[in-house]
Amino acid sequence: MRIAVVGGGPAGLYYALLMKRDWPALDITVYERNRPDDTFGFGVVFSDQTLDTFRATDAPSYRAIADSFAYWDDIEIHFKGAVHRVGGNGFCGCSRRTLLMLLQARARELGVKLVFSEEVVDGDALAATHDLVVAADGINSRIRETHRGHFQPETDLRPNHFTWMGSTRPFDAFTFFFKETEQGIFIAHCYQYEPGHSTWVLETDPATFRKAGLDRMDEAQSAAFLEGVFAEELQGHRLITNRSMWRNFPMIRCARWVKDNIVLLGDAKATAHFSIGSGTKLAMEDSIALHEAFHAKGLDVPAALAHFETARREDVEKTQHAADVSLVWFEDVRRFWHFEPLRFAFGLMTRSKAITYDNLALRAPEMVAAVDRMVADAIRPDAKGRRDGSPVPPLFQPFRLREMKLENRAVVSPMCQYSAVDGLPQDWHLMHYGSRAVGGAGLVFTEMVCVAEDARITPGCAGLYTDGQEAAWKRIVDFVHANSAAKIALQLGHAGQKGATKLMWEGMDRPLPGGAWPIVSASPLPYYPDSQVPAELDRAGMDRVIAEFVAAAERGHRAGFDMLEMHAAHGYLLASFLSPLTNHRKDVYGGSLENRLRFPLEVFRALRRAWPAEKPMSVRISATDWKEGGLSGADSVAIAEAFAAEGCDLIDVSTGQTVHDAKPNYGRMFQTPFSDRIRNEARIATMCVGAITSADQMNTIIAAGRADLVALGRPHLADPAFTLRAAAWYQADIHQPVQYRPGKDQIYRNSVRERDDLVELKLKAKPDRHAHQQASSVGSQAAE
């Protein structure tokens, strides 16, 4: 069997040596366009976990690499004169040139043929004479581009500019420097990779890049300029260049990785941003996965390649998602520049969602304790503490909106129950809202309560347009107030184009087969092609809708609700005006964002006048439509600012559900970045929702300044006492009715034991930061 590997970087070399080690009879040749000792860049970074993988995969190459590593355990963040240091990270650096030379030596030792200074211009010719061609030829892969139509690469060229340089300044931690100059903000990502040598990845935004004139400088001029920016941080050392050209990072994804007997590997198929240090890691783990695929399928090339693509894709996509979130944080660093240094550092550490509040509490308990104090100090004298005097975690600190004080930041998200009869809430609703209020949440939202009979989504939707409905809601509100410390918010909405549809469990958003009522929207556009076509709302209709919202709000006040939310998301009537995908009007209510905002703002102004001044109001918006041509991030900030100017106290940040063919990018906490942007650019309090499942995530979000309140839906459906359990875990005291206090006492006692046991287990499992140094020095027999 003949294998040609195109590209002599870490991915190609590692794959070649693994295959030759296990099948010595294979004829394997690596083709590299550069000379053997050419390399560009400076150091590479691996985590302890990655080193463990290397050790298990090929002990001799691991030992050679480990002997050359510089180890560190800490991350150090320099921002506005403050320094924060976080331990327990377990990273190491190695010279890229050294890594390549070690892999070359191991490959030669095993019998791999290495051909240097030879450019492969025709991958198909190799494929015709070899059983397998591995295209490990990098970001600009010629083989991938030759078959672009098959591999379908997508390249997202990110806006920030970056360059790799080096220095002789030593570091004992992975270090971030953030500097503001008259031109703008510069960021340095720095780490030592061998004695006397460190990598400096220097990054800035497009406006700063141009203002500084870096687009007109050569390597030497750029280095001289940056030496001035980071003169204090360089401590007298100089910056070193090595083809240190300014670039924009290309995030590459391919729909396919395999074509016949050709397979893409490493950066040729997928890239991961340098801010999570995963480029070389991703490439070498690709090599391991492809090697393992041949073990799984023998030397059956088609079966092995199919197995590789299927088995490896999820891990690659997870890494890329983490890298995406991380790189966006650095691109948007100006958004966080007003943060105090501790919150800034916490946000940096938790940016990619790989590290959370609880995780940091194990690694850096002093930092998390300081974060708790920071959040508490910002709300004194309302701040709450534990029995030992320490502040409770951010989730359990109170929050004020006007004269409404919430006992904690946990919110029961609005969730339609589709269980009303002619709009009238039933005993089900009393049980549903009452049990979740008793469960400890600081704020409970109603489902979308419809302002008129023809404003309902489904025949099972609750309303607030009759005296009977008002009385039923008052019964629920009175129960919540009498038996819990929770506040309860009324969400008012109008279904618009999504009205007259089936119950969720019978076919969500599908039209009723019979008994449908006429519907209206911003424009006569059906939600699905076979949905009812709504009438375009005219001026008389607008006046009627405003009056219905106001009447419902007045009923809500009489019922005793603590807060009012106007629903302007998810494609319902008010949302249909906001989005250009659903608003095709030619009058003053269509066209520009200012015009599209006009009617929703009219409704909000009328509600704010009708709703008591001491009670807060919020607006739910879809911050993106998840479809080309829909609302942008900048639009959502402008929408939030417009409502804030009219007296809105909180933006409830959701996304999507505007059009049926949207393509959301789901994942953990996937809507939180939109809340983050609105909160920190529009400077208004936000509530985030969407795939948030744990108190740990909630603490992380609040502490990092990404939202002020966190709403959970499904977790509260599964466990009405979700907040009580979380409070017990963190030993934060919350209200419980006297009837349930014995249960509260027990869960608090049990949580102390469970938490202590878990911490002990995690500490035992924590990697020894010196393990790899020890393994590389105790001899080959022990290391194997």
- The position carrying tokens 């501790």 is 342
- The position carrying tokens 């500019």 is 161
Residue 18: name the closest of 83, 111, 98, 96 by CA: 111
d(CA 291, CA 308): 9
- Please check whether residue 470 is in contact with residue 462, taking contact to mean a CB–CB distance below 8 angstroms: no
Residue 730: name the closest of 364, 367, 358 by CA: 358
Degrees to nearest 5, angle at CA 694 with 692 and 695: 115
For the four alpha carbons of 353, 358, 361 and 363, in that order, the dihedral sign comes to negative
Q: What are phi and psi of 429, to 5 degrees?
A: -65, -40
- In the chain, the largest separation of any two C-alpha atoms, in whole Å, equals 87
d(CA 384, CA 578): 40
Q: Give exposure, 453-471, as e/b (b: 16+ Cβ within 10 Å).
A: ebbbbbbbbbbbbeeebbe
Residue 517 vs residues 463, 527, 533, 541, 766: alpha-carbon distances, Å: 15, 15, 11, 15, 62
Catalytic residue among 14, 31, 433, 572: 572
Own/partner pairs for 588-593, CB < 8 Å, 24+ apart?
Answer: 589/522, 590/522, 590/523, 593/635, 593/638, 593/639
d(CA 155, CA 638): 29
SS3 251: strand
Residue 275 vs residues 134, 319, 322, 331: alpha-carbon distances, Å: 27, 12, 10, 11
Residue 333 vs residues 370, 674, 708: alpha-carbon distances, Å: 22, 15, 19
Is residue 572 part of the annotated active site? The answer reads yes
What length is written for the chain?
784
Degrees to nearest 5, angle at CA 549 with 571 and 411: 65
- Please check whether residue 33 is in contact with residue 118, taking contact to mean a CB–CB distance below 8 angstroms: yes
CB neighbourhood size of 207 (10 A)? 13
Those residues whose C-beta lies under 8 Å from the C-beta of residue 281, and which sit 6 or more positions away, are 45, 46, 47, 50
- The catalytic site residues sit at 572
